[in-house]
Amino acid sequence: MSAADRPIASAPARVPGDPVRVRATKWLEQPHWEFDGVWLGADAHGDWVGFPAGTAFARPGHGFTATWQSVSLFPRAGWAAAFNEGHPRGLGIYVDLATVPEWRADAAGATVSYVDLDLDVVERAGAPAFIDDEDEFAEHAVAFGYPAELMAQVRADADAVLRAVQRHEPPFDGATAAGWLAILSRLA
C-alpha cells in the first residue's frame, strides 16, 4: 500500500473547491451512499465538504438530485453531519452515527469513507431533534453481528450528539454551518 492509499484522520492538504468523493458503506462493506462534493476547509470541529444544488446522491436501488445546497462535517469522531439550506421538507440537520471518517488522497482528489451504523440524529424546522432508525439499528445488530462494545459506543455517541443538537452547541448552532454554506455559495 502506497502512502497515498493509507487512511488518514483528516483531509489531506486541499484547496477549497477540490473534489471529494464521499463513500458510506454499511457494516461488512455493504454498498450504501456515494456522492461527490467539494472540499471547503477545516476548523476545530473537523473537515467540511460542500454539495451545491444539483449534486447527485446514489445508493443501490435509490438516488436523487438535490435541489438545495448542503455542507457536511466529517469530525474525528463516530459520526458525520449534514447541514441543509432550503431543504424542501425542512430537514436542517441530519447526523449519521458511524465509524470515524477516514480520508484517502487519490488521483481525482480525496475520498472520505465511513461505515453508517444506522442510528441518525435528525432535526427538522419547527420540530424537536430526535434519534431515528432505532429499529434498523436493532435489526442490523443481530443480522450483522455488531460487537457489543460498538453498539454501546454508537448508542452513547447518538445520545451525546442529540444533546448537542438540542442545546444548539457548535457545530449545531446554526452559525457554524452558515459560515461554511457561505463559502460553498462563493465557490459555486
**pLDDT value, residue 34:** 96
Is residue 164's pLDDT more than 70? yes
Domains parsed from the chain with CATH numbers: 3-187 (2.40.380.10)
pTM: predicted TM-score of the whole model, two decimal places: 0.92
Q: pLDDT averaged over the chain?
A: 93
pLDDT at 162: 98
pLDDT at 45: 97
Cell, residue 69? 445546497
pLDDT digits 0-9 by tens, 88-109: 999 999 999 999 999 998 887 8
Query: Can you spell out the DSSP letters for 92-117?
Result: EEEEEEESPPEEEEETTEEEEEEEEE
User: What is the C-alpha to C-alpha distance for residues 6 and 105, in angstroms, rounded to an integer?
Assistant: 8
pLDDT of residue 14: 79
Q: Per residue in 55-80, pLDDT tens?
A: 999 999 999 999 999 999 999 999 99
User: Does the pLDDT value for residue 3 go beyond 90?
Assistant: no
Nearest to 84 by CA among 109, 51, 59, 116: 51
- Residue 88 has a CB neighbour count (10 Å cut-off) of 9
Alpha-carbon distance of 35 to 31, in angstroms, equals: 12
Mean pLDDT score, 110-131: 97
Angle at the Cα of 59 (from 114 to 14), degrees rounded to 5? Answer: 45
CA of residue 63 relative to chain centroid, distance: 17
> pLDDT band at residue 179, thresholds of 50, 70 and 90?
very high
pLDDT of 6 reads: 47
The larger pLDDT score, comparing residue 10 to residue 86, is at 86
pLDDT band at 4 (very low <50, low <70, confident <90, very high): very low
Give me the residue label for grid cell 443481530: 142
- If pLDDT is split at 50, 70 and 90, which confidence band does 8 have? low
Phi, psi of 77 (to 5 degrees): -145, 175
Of the pLDDT bands very low, low, confident and very high (cuts 50, 70, 90), residue 182 is very high
**For residue 149, which amino acid is it?**
E
pLDDT in tens, 15-47: 899 999 999 999 999 999 999 999 999 999 999
